[in-house]
Structure 1
Amino acid sequence: MTTTALPGQAHTRHEQAGPLTGTGLAWRRAVRSDRWFWLVWVLVLWSFVPATTAAYRETISDDAAGREVAAGLAANPTMRAMLGPPFDLLNAGGFAMWRVGGFTAVMSGVMAALGVIRATRAEEEAGRTELLRAGAIGRHSLLWGAILLGLTGSGLLGLLISVSMIGLNTPAAGALCMGLGIALTAAVFVGVGACAAQLSASTRACRFVAMGALGAAYLLRALADGSASDSALRPLAWLSPVEWAPLARPYAAERWWVLALPAALAASLIGLAFAVEARRDHGAGLRPARPGPASAPARLSSAAGLAWRLTRGSSLGWGIGLVIFALVMGSLADVFETVADDPELAERFRRMGAGAQDLQAAFFVAMLGILVVLLAVFALQLFERLRKEEEAGHAEVILATDTARTRQLLAFVVPALVVPTGLLAAIGVLLPLQSGLAGDRGLIPRILGAAMALAPGVWLCLGLGVAVHGLAPRLRLLPWAVVGWSLVVNWIGGVLGFPQGVLDATPFGQLPQLPAQPMAWGPVIVETLLAAALLVAGFWGYRRRDIT
């Protein structure tokens, strides 16, 4: 029997529900789906802070020499640009806040923004949100559930940091200020992620917007902190959300009022996200998608053309960000020569640069060591697009044509190999550009050679990603774990006093660090051949496994 609804009774349960009805269900669903994402991020970021605090005396000794080292670090604009403003390096808490607190705040922003977009726009793009909204659930409940999960993860990170710092016998006020500052920074980017998720129907575009905002905040902070104390650029630091946690001055006469800034901005962004969601259509962004051309251009008729179309936005964004960062940091290279009069401080800088006697060369070695790992992350991200195409069912449609699997895989491997390598070469030129033009013109080709000597490490990480994708796609997190470990080792391994064997246990540890070390072709050739072998293994496996 067919039942016809009477006039006035054709309301769905969704229309009768309040805007936040079912928030608890949405929060539990987000926890069930993303619990490992949040747990791994929170635990890894938390571990940086107590580990650095415990190793404080290995870096700053309790004597006159230690005080001179602390004063030299605080006065060096390059170190301020890299790590943020130091306020009191003569206690373990203040040193930890400077050395890894700012870094943890930035990475917590990455965690928060990606986590919220993952639970909102990615679910909506996949069609799962529409299924949930067919029930008695409010229009804003799914967004609110994702935001609550993001705030929960941010708060948990801050709580763990505060408790562990108190457990290490640092002052409770400083520990609370540090934990709260980092948690509120993450909360700001919960709001950024929530707003970004409303702007476009594409998850990829939303992530690009959120990471672009974070990158701009970091570059603004680095530019302001690296400038002279009387420069007009220094006050610009107050405009960067990732700077507010350090400016609250944990362990250095805390300024609690500063924490009202991230709290207010987070609340405003979350409110804005709800307002925008109320005005956009489900499945669409705030900006409506424009109709495409009636026919595709010839360049999209091949797998390679389509792969480039899918990855060009990420390539452009990463390229612009890394080029600007290389130019800004390269402009500060000459400052390292000013610490040569302090033997103790100069020796510490040389250790940062793989033992280079020239302090300027030590700076370039240290910067390349950080940037090359970021390029490995970029290479994996470009290749990861193929997995997403398979999960969405798009790859199967392409393979139903006369496109061979080898050609399909090659279409995504080539940009993941070529673009990061090209950017590494560009960084090798741009980092020493200002110093080379002002003095030693031979510096530019030397640092370019140093950069390219590290390229096999990027290729090896990509080769591992391709091999895993072709042979054992269930292990897709393995290459990301390798790159994450490399970032930890390069960023804080020296501070924590890791054994040399541990420092070398990364794809970049065995490669020659020019110009601090002599050129060694053996590791370069071995890693290149190993990367090639992994690529071949990935192609072999991809031709034989099921496309899921």
Structure 2
Amino acid sequence: MSGLGTLVRLALRRNRWFLTVWLLALVVVVPATAAAYEQVVPDLGQGRLVIEGLANNPTMRAMLGPPFSLTEPGGFTVWRVGTFVATLAGVMSVLGTVRLTRADEEAGRTELLRSGVVGRHAPLAAATLVGLGACTLLGLLVSGAMVAVGTDPTGSAAFGLGVALTAGMFVGVGALAAQLTGSARAARGIGLAVLGVAYLVRAVADGVPADSPLRRLQWASPVEWMALARPYADERWSVLLLPAVLTAVLVALAVWAEARRDHGSGPWLPRPGPPTAGELLSSPSGLAWRLQRGTVLAWAVALAVFAGAIGSLTPSFAAMFSDLPQLEELLLRMGAGAEQLTQGFYVAMLSILVLVIAAHGLQLLGRLQHEETEGRAGIVLSTDVRRTRFALSHTLLALGAPTVLLLVCGALLAVPQAVDDGSWAVVTDVVAGAAALLPGVWLVVGLGLLLHGWVPQAGWIAWLVVGWSLVITWIGALLSLPDWLLELTPFARLPQLPVEDMRWLPVVVTTVVAAALLAVGLAGYRRRDLEA
């Protein structure tokens, strides 16, 4: 392990802003939710009845996880944002670990480091130590923040430890994925796919009835183990041995795999292509599709399965009201009702799906910059392909694939309810709601192209907009933030069908702004020098 200390310091130096932004974003959410508990659940029996009734509803359980001890701020926070924070911490771990392993190897930095006095496994060990250190710091910050807002110290320790171990487990996933493929892009795809499957398994297991055999799948989902440790509710510390042991196994497998592969290679390498290019590759748009079809299809399958699985739980709202007539009466007095609550569910799910799909659009657009930095864009542009045409080939895919995917997911969300009601009108309504949110996706992609066209180094700003929108959507209303702050997202002013009436002005304005951003971005890309 020669040079390990130096490599750790180098990894910290290179990842300091990446980790700082992630840690701050994740930590702020937790104490803010706990501090808002008294506003969300006033000290009244009716308020607690609403929360407990919703928590026991299969759909809400599928969205948020298993509820324990909702009568105090700590347990409510774990249920409301605990799984959300643990899952996003897993994303941080996968991206950060692949960034320091396979991405550095692909860029040639690892080979340069190994030309010095550096042990074979030192780069992997340094990346793993930095990742686990960041996860440990996240756990300490979560625990400290929860104690600071007055929650039980023991429960806070279990909460923080559960988040840290969940995130650390995906450091192991990222480290192993980096040994299996020949590119950082594929390694990230494997790591995030594992995380996505784990979250889907958790959602299905939590959403089924308690006596269903599928409920046992809770224990098969790593993102569920933190909640199953029951912070603030008679903690089960032994459950946290599961992520700890799995982390050790994954890291050991990563070291074992690294010792048995050549530098720059892996067991899952792309297959050699045909000796001559097909007709599809005769145009920039065909090339863009060929490069990204695997990514598009993987996202389409994952999100379609998720939308169908979550949508299948929608008819359970009626069962909840039949079991809790007091809750039904209370909600009716509040101006709601079973039908309105179901529509609210569709709006909530669409507001989450549209952000995930907007991130997919940015990922597809990011291939444009990847081709440029890898030098392949220069090769294509050395032919008679114009810059604008080359940029449009990736931009149109980044616009078109999310558009189709959002509409399909909207339909899949509503199909179970349509089958249960015997009427397909709800499918039309939810698809219309999805379509009303599409200009926000186009605006995000337009912002990404604008930044790439003029300031490629600032492309992270578009991702920051998506991340901010996700936080606002998930817990913005819960924290009672000012209305002007809640509206600082590309989607805030768009009509939320089928709950709200259609308003064409914000849809048209957002579409026009998105088109303007795309046009200005294309103009900048045509004028600036290519990145080396």
Q: Shorter-chain TM-score: what band?
A: over 0.9
Per the alignment, residue 152 of structure 1 pairs with 133
Within the alignment, does 1:407 sit opposite 2:428 as a pair?
no
> 1:302 Cα deviation (Å)?
2.0
Counterpart mapping for 1:6-25 below 5 A: 20-25=1-6
Q: How many residues align?
A: 526
Moved more, 392-401 or 420-429: 392-401
Per the alignment, residue 189 of structure 1 pairs with 170
Per the alignment, residue 198 of structure 1 pairs with 179
Within the alignment, does 1:326 sit opposite 2:307 as a pair?
yes
Within the alignment, does 1:121 sit opposite 2:102 as a pair?
yes
Within the alignment, does 1:130 sit opposite 2:111 as a pair?
yes
- In 2 relative to 1, CA 370–494 (structure 1 residues): closer, same or farther, beyond 3 Å? same
Kept in 2: contact 1:337–1:359 (CA 8 A): no
Per the alignment, residue 482 of structure 2 pairs with 499
* 2:272 equivalent among 291, 296, 315: 291
Deviations 1:158-212 (A, max 9, x none): 0000011111111110000000000000011000000000011111111111111
> 1:287 Cα deviation (Å)?
3.4
Per the alignment, residue 416 of structure 1 pairs with 398
Cα separation, 1, equivalents of 2:27 and 2:4: 28
Within the alignment, does 1:170 sit opposite 2:140 as a pair?
no
Q: Which residue identity lines up with residue 433 of structure 1 in the other structure?
A: V
* 1:232 equivalent among 208, 213, 230: 213
* 1:394 equivalent among 376, 397, 400: 376
- In 2 relative to 1, CA 158–506 (structure 1 residues): closer, same or farther, beyond 3 Å? same
Q: Which residue identity lines up with residue 383 of structure 2 in the other structure?
A: T
Per the alignment, residue 359 of structure 1 pairs with 341
Q: Which residue identity lines up with residue 165 of structure 1 in the other structure?
A: M
How high is the sequence identity, in percent, across the aligned residues?
52
> 1:289 Cα deviation (Å)?
4.7
Moved more, 376-385 or 290-299: 290-299
Deviations 1:355-406 (A, max 9, x none): 9962211111111111111111111111011111111122112112211100
Per the alignment, residue 15 of structure 2 pairs with 34
After TM superposition, what 4+ stretches of structure 1 lie above 6 angstroms from structure 2?
347-351
Cα separation, 1, equivalents of 2:485 and 2:319: 32
Kept in 2: contact 1:197–1:203 (CA 8 A): yes
Q: Which residue identity lines up with residue 346 of structure 1 in the other structure?
A: L
Cα separation, 2, equivalents of 1:313 and 1:345: 49
Counterpart mapping for 1:363-382 below 5 A: 363-382=345-364
Within the alignment, does 1:471 sit opposite 2:445 as a pair?
no
Q: Aligned with 1:286: secondary structure?
A: coil
Q: Which residue identity lines up with residue 71 of structure 1 in the other structure?
A: E
Within the alignment, does 1:222 sit opposite 2:203 as a pair?
yes
Deviations 1:454-489 (A, max 9, x none): 110101111111111112223212211111111111
Within the alignment, does 1:335 sit opposite 2:320 as a pair?
no
> 1:427 Cα deviation (Å)?
1.1
* 1:346 equivalent among 305, 316, 331: 331
Within the alignment, does 1:521 sit opposite 2:504 as a pair?
yes
Q: Aligned with 1:384: secondary structure?
A: helix
Q: Could you tell me the TM-score, scaled by structure 2's length?
A: 0.96
Cα separation, 1, equivalents of 2:6 and 2:338: 57
- CA-atom RMSD in angstroms: 1.6
* 2:413 equivalent among 431, 443, 449: 431
Q: Aligned with 1:283: secondary structure?
A: coil
Kept in 2: contact 1:349–1:359 (CA 8 A): no
Cα separation, 2, equivalents of 1:389 and 1:374: 23
Cα separation, 1, equivalents of 2:44 and 2:434: 38
> 1:66 Cα deviation (Å)?
2.6
Per the alignment, residue 521 of structure 2 pairs with 538
Kept in 1: contact 2:318–2:338 (CA 8 A): no
> 1:535 Cα deviation (Å)?
0.7
Kept in 2: contact 1:356–1:516 (CA 8 A): no
Q: Which residue identity lines up with residue 493 of structure 1 in the other structure?
A: G
- In 2 relative to 1, CA 206–445 (structure 1 residues): closer, same or farther, beyond 3 Å? same
Cα separation, 2, equivalents of 1:264 and 1:457: 42
Q: Aligned with 2:180: secondary structure?
A: coil
Per the alignment, residue 83 of structure 1 pairs with 64
Structure 1 runs not aligned, ≥5 long: 1-19
Cα separation, 1, equivalents of 2:20 and 2:328: 43
* 1:444 equivalent among 412, 427, 452: 427
Cα separation, 1, equivalents of 2:235 and 2:484: 40
Cα separation, 2, equivalents of 1:302 and 1:102: 44
> 1:533 Cα deviation (Å)?
0.8
Kept in 2: contact 1:116–1:150 (CA 8 A): yes
Q: Could you tell me the TM-score, scaled by structure 1's length?
A: 0.93
Cα separation, 2, equivalents of 1:350 and 1:271: 56
Q: Which residue identity lines up with residue 415 of structure 1 in the other structure?
A: L
- In 2 relative to 1, CA 195–349 (structure 1 residues): closer, same or farther, beyond 3 Å? farther
Kept in 2: contact 1:65–1:344 (CA 8 A): no
Kept in 1: contact 2:89–2:163 (CA 8 A): yes
Kept in 2: contact 1:70–1:90 (CA 8 A): no
> 1:509 Cα deviation (Å)?
0.7
Kept in 1: contact 2:362–2:398 (CA 8 A): yes
Cα separation, 2, equivalents of 1:471 and 1:345: 54
* 1:276 equivalent among 257, 269, 276: 257
> 1:58 Cα deviation (Å)?
1.2
- In 2 relative to 1, CA 350–303 (structure 1 residues): closer, same or farther, beyond 3 Å? farther
